[in-house]
Amino acid sequence: MSAESIKLGLRQDRAAIVRQLREQIRRMEHDYARPPERQWIGTGLAALDERLAGGGLPTGSIVELIGSGRACGGLALATWLTARAASDGGQVVVIDSAGDFYPPAAEQLGLGADRMVLVHPRREVDALWAAEQSLRSPTVAAVLLTCLLRVEHRQSRRLQLAAEAGGGIGLLVRPIKAQARGRVSTAAVRLLVGPTRSEPGSVRWLVQVLRCRGGWPSEPVVVGLEDEACDVSVHAAAVGGADEPVLRLAGG
Amino acid sequence: MPLLSVERTSRCCGLPADKPTAVAEPVGQSQRVVSCCRLALTGGVRPGQTVAEARAVLPELAVCSHDPQADRRRLGQLAAGAMQFSPIVQPVEPGVLLLDVTGCERLFGGERRLGGLGIRYVEREGFSVRGAIAGTVGAAWALAHAGGERLTVVEPEGEVAALAGLPAWSLRIERDAVAALDRLGVATVDDLLHLPRSSLAERFGGSVLRRLDQAVGAMDEPVEPFRPAELPAVRMSLAFPTDRQEVVHAGVESLLGRLTQRLEQQGQGAAELVCTFYREQARPIVSQLWLSRPTRALGHLTSLLAEKVRGLDLSVPVSAISLHVVRAGVVPRWQGRLFESAEVSDPQKAAGLLDELSNRLGQGAVVRALPGDDHQPEHACWYEPVTGGIDGGIQRIRHDVTRRVKPALRASPSPTLCFAKDGAPKPTHSTEHWRASRQWHPTKTPKSSSPTLCFAKDGAPNEGTHASNEALADPGAPGPVAPHKGTRRIKSDVARRVKPALRSDSVARDENDHAHATAAWACHPDRLSEVRMAAGERPVRLFARPQPIDVIAGANGGGPAWFRWRGDRRRVAWSVGPERIETGWWRGRQVCRDYYVVQDQEGGRFWMFRDRENRRWYLHGCFE
């Protein structure tokens, strides 16, 4: 954008300019060779969508979810996001090194078993290979990769390239133990997921956007799902006053 | 393999191995037993009986229908597999494999070892087997059928001596002739050999004499080489043995070209391929290729086999390569839609990926989940390999053995009792059940969270009813909280509905317990509501084995108040339950569990249960 056009633009709406500039940055940051034909898939969680550039997860990219502790809900959120990413059709590949991913629960989160292929690799190398192959395939809408302790920069880059080639979304779920924060990663979106108190009949996560290409990091925010079938009112009891969302990065 | 049919059928139907089984076919108005397993035989069942007779002898007999086609196919597969021992294999129905092992024994270290390997191969495939190696087909047949041992090896020229004590029927003589001989008092082969040949021919025609001659080696009987069910097979002998990968690769590629041409002519696609690399003075290397759907795409097959060739041990030079299709099927045609990107929905592309994953990571590592007709969480989900599931005989994997993959038998569908205590046993058998039990929807607005307590009697929280020292001593613990005014009261008819459901339990020894439970539940409608909410929620991670944990629980079968997991002591914010699961008695060990969904003070969610047999607590999964 030349200086002249910016001057012209001043007369226009301020927000439009900001949007234009953001788009430019996004292009510069990403692949300028290719026109931005990517799409954004809404997460179905309004509070999270607001904080993500483009209003959702970009297709053809890697999304990293870092669980801040045990039983923090990172995998459940990733399953939900995977289901959303594949909501327009396409296969889902779940690569589960631990071997205890439970499909009935995925079904409850909207990820149907009929579209899901489960892979149980024995080694982490195989897990990464399988993820790369799956991402590269245009028939795969989303790949969920769990239980990875370390992803080197090179591997991360390979996954990113594979996702760009295939056009799907790769979701990596990693524990915070891996010192994932602060390491170099090519993921387009990095989310830190922590546990938060919720009521029976709902699922809540505390999510912080650590990184979002074309957007800004955000403060932790509570996002949640409600059980529609649940018609029983929940007995709410206030304890300890205000519930300020706090996300502990220390983990464990 | 005397029990091929019954063993194959019982595996396909998923019957447990310790259940007497028989296969039957309709004859006129009645069903007749064709063959039955060893347990049924000892129970008094005989082939030829009607099913009604057999059931009268052995009431618990499971009867499956006879499928000779499938038996033939399975025998063909076994024959193809047996080609690793000898190039000349002949399957003979109903359950015999003839192998011409002349000259093959030196590759395997002797006849006895070769026989042992062959027997082990068939047993690994899941069939009981007896074998014999002899100089003639007739002798080997007789020894395998009538000899008492698992493997008999006859020394050269020892056929007559080995056969002498065997019954006459073992020589493959017709039934009428056997009956006639029996009337004459000719019971063994020895007796038969002592009869004058001329009178034998006069009385019984040429067939008895011919069989006798074939057995003792006076008449030649060739083994008809088996061609795997007219499935295309190609073979190439290399000009000289090679240990160079690129040569082997080029050979495989040209073989594949010929193979796909043959498939094209037949209008078929390969669903399973076996590629055998023959080596001099060493055992051939057999590598199998599974495909998720029949295909004859040259490029795809080449890339899959190239992966196999890359992993090949070429320390001993390869002298010949053969490639044969073990299973074939019709290549499904697919028509693209006009307004849809062809790439995204092309099943051929999707199949390509699955084949690639499956052939590198192993058939059992790439699976699809299937709903199991069982309420026990470990059994509510089965895994089926994406490849090789076309032709019956699919091996399914249980959730708790995903890490060490081996064929697992499916439990027979049996009555299950599972109450969510709202009186409605839940339907199963489809993913609809998983879905219907609970489905999450995004909330429109994020709300700040607040903890809720599980109410016990009269709406008082758990901790209140149980005078747990630790719970009360903790200054930070929230005090008992009164229920919110808006709490919905369950109508009394719901409470009453509980009773019949609990009564329907067939397990007698729990009768008292249940009566007590019924009484306790009926008068606390608040708890019913909680249980209804919990029904069906499942954790994303389900541990293969439930982990024992320390729990401090509320009184009167209340939910957990504290628990310790991996060294951390966690205080329970709320718990929802119990969801009672009682099932699995037909597996020998009944499972009686009260499941609770538990959230700790930090917000971590867990799924734990109390075993009602030993009253201990286990963590079974977490909503990670």
Q: What are the tens digits of pLDDT across the range B589-603?
A: 788 888 888 888 888
**A9 pLDDT tier (thresholds 50, 70, 90):** low
Say whether residue A63 is in contact with chain B using an 8 A CB cutoff: no
- Output the pLDDT for position B429: 42
Cα–Cα separations (whole angstroms), residue B20 to A220, B15, B292: 61, 9, 34
- Output the pLDDT for position A114: 83
B residues 540-579 closer than 8 Å to A (CB): 540-544, 565-566, 573-574, 576
- Output the pLDDT for position B414: 31
Residues from chain A that touch B574, judged by Cβ atoms under 8 A, are 199-200
A residues 71-110 closer than 8 Å to B (CB): 71-76, 79-80, 89-91, 93, 98-110
Say whether pLDDT at B401 is over 60.
Answer: no
- Output the pLDDT for position A142: 92
Say whether pLDDT at A252 is over 50.
Answer: no
Name the minimum distance, in Å, from the CA of B167 to any CA of chain A. Answer: 53
Closest CA to B542 of B469, B482, B595: B595
Say whether pLDDT at A118 is over 70.
Answer: yes
List the single residue in A with minimal CA-CA distance to B480: A237
- Output the pLDDT for position A143: 93
The stretch B425-453 carries a mean pLDDT of 47
Length of chain B: 624
Residues from chain B that touch A70, judged by Cβ atoms under 8 A, are 565-566, 604, 622, 624
CB spacing of B434 vs A117 below 8 angstroms: no
CB spacing of B353 vs A240 below 8 angstroms: no
CB spacing of A117 vs B440 below 8 angstroms: no
- Output the pLDDT for position B576: 80
Instruction: Pick A237 or B380 by higher pLDDT.
Output: B380
- ipTM value > 0.85: no
Say whether pLDDT at B480 is over 70.
Answer: no
CB spacing of A198 vs B440 below 8 angstroms: no
Say whether pLDDT at B459 is over 80.
Answer: no
Average predicted confidence (pLDDT) for chain A: 76
Question: Which residue in the set B368, B450, B604 is minimally distant from A71, CB to CB?
Answer: B604
Which of A61-65, A135-139, B491-495 is predicted with the least confidence, judged by mean pLDDT? Answer: B491-495
Helices (H) and strands (E) counted in chain B, each on its own, are 22, 23
Please give the sequence-ordered ranges of beta strands (E in DSSP) within chain A, or none if there are none: 40-41, 57-58, 61-67, 91-96, 116-119, 140-146, 169-175, 189-195, 202-212, 221-227
- Output the pLDDT for position B438: 58
pLDDT tens figures, B187-239: 777 777 777 777 777 777 777 788 888 877 777 777 777 665 567 888 888 88
| B608 burial via Cβ count (<10 Å: 0-12, 13-18, 19+) | buried
- Output the pLDDT for position A241: 32
CB spacing of A104 vs B381 below 8 angstroms: yes
**B501 pLDDT tier (thresholds 50, 70, 90):** very low
CB spacing of A109 vs B540 below 8 angstroms: yes
pLDDT tens figures, B265-295: 887 888 888 888 988 888 888 888 888 888 8
Question: Which residue in the set B402, B439, B533 is minimally distant from A120, CB to CB?
Answer: B402
- Output the pLDDT for position A184: 62
**B531 pLDDT tier (thresholds 50, 70, 90):** very low
DSSP assigned state of B285: E
- Output the pLDDT for position B88: 80
Average predicted confidence (pLDDT) for chain B: 71
Say whether pLDDT at B410 is over 90.
Answer: no
- Output the pLDDT for position B439: 62
DSSP assigned state of B523: T
CB spacing of A113 vs B369 below 8 angstroms: yes
According to DSSP, the residues that pair with B287 across neighbouring strands are B275
- Output the pLDDT for position A2: 58
- Output the pLDDT for position B434: 59
Say whether pLDDT at B485 is over 50.
Answer: no
The stretch B117-137 carries a mean pLDDT of 84
| B563 burial via Cβ count (<10 Å: 0-12, 13-18, 19+) | buried
- Output the pLDDT for position A4: 62
**B103 pLDDT tier (thresholds 50, 70, 90):** confident
How many alpha carbons fall within 13 Å on the CB side of residue B110? 6
Name the minimum distance, in Å, from the CA of A95 to any CA of chain B. Answer: 9
A residues 112-151 closer than 8 Å to B (CB): 112-114, 116-122, 126, 129-130, 133-134, 137-140
Which of B377-386, B423-432, B480-489 is predicted with the least confidence, judged by mean pLDDT? Answer: B480-489
List the single residue in B with minimal CA-CA distance to A242: B448
**A170 pLDDT tier (thresholds 50, 70, 90):** very high
CB spacing of A198 vs B599 below 8 angstroms: yes
List the single residue in A with minimal CA-CA distance to B349: A139
- Output the pLDDT for position A130: 92
Characterize the bridge pairing of strands A61-67 and B318-329: unpaired
Say whether pLDDT at B33 is over 70.
Answer: yes
Say whether pLDDT at B175 is over 90.
Answer: no
Say whether residue B357 is in contact with chain A using an 8 A CB cutoff: yes
Say if residues A214 and A28 touch (Cβ distance below 8 Å): no
Give the percent of chain A with pLDDT over 90: 8
Angle B460-B462-B466 from CA coordinates, rounded to 5°: 105
Could you tell me which residues come within 8 angstroms of residue B5 by beta carbon, excluding any fewer than 6 positions away? B23, B34, B35, B66, B68, B71, B94, B95
Instruction: Pick A89 or B243 by higher pLDDT.
Output: B243
- Output the pLDDT for position A132: 92
List the single residue in A with minimal CA-CA distance to B541: A101
- Output the pLDDT for position B457: 32
Which of A181-185, B112-116, B355-359 is predicted with the least confidence, judged by mean pLDDT? Answer: A181-185
- Output the pLDDT for position B267: 79
Say whether pLDDT at B361 is over 60.
Answer: yes
**B557 pLDDT tier (thresholds 50, 70, 90):** low
CB spacing of A137 vs B350 below 8 angstroms: yes
Instruction: Pick B432 or B30 by higher pLDDT.
Output: B30
B50 by DSSP, 3-state: which? Answer: strand
Count interface pairs A-B at CB distance under 8 A: 274
Say whether residue B311 is in contact with chain A using an 8 A CB cutoff: no
Say whether pLDDT at A129 is over 50.
Answer: yes
pTM of the model: 0.60
Which of B176-180, B390-394, B520-524 is predicted with the least confidence, judged by mean pLDDT? Answer: B520-524
CB spacing of A234 vs B452 below 8 angstroms: yes
Question: Which residue in the set A75, A140, A195 is minimally distant from B353, CB to CB?
Answer: A140
- Output the pLDDT for position B523: 28
- Output the pLDDT for position B338: 58
Angle A128-A133-A135 from CA coordinates, rounded to 5°: 90
Say whether pLDDT at A144 is over 90.
Answer: yes
Say whether pLDDT at B71 is over 70.
Answer: yes
CB spacing of B443 vs A202 below 8 angstroms: yes
- Output the pLDDT for position A7: 60
**B500 pLDDT tier (thresholds 50, 70, 90):** very low
Question: Which residue in the set A91, A200, A223 is minimally distant from B576, CB to CB?
Answer: A200
Listed ranges B6-10, B81-85, B338-342; the one with the highest mean pLDDT: B81-85
Residues from chain A that touch B377, judged by Cβ atoms under 8 A, are 102, 104
**B511 pLDDT tier (thresholds 50, 70, 90):** very low
What tokens were used for B428? Answer: 């199963």
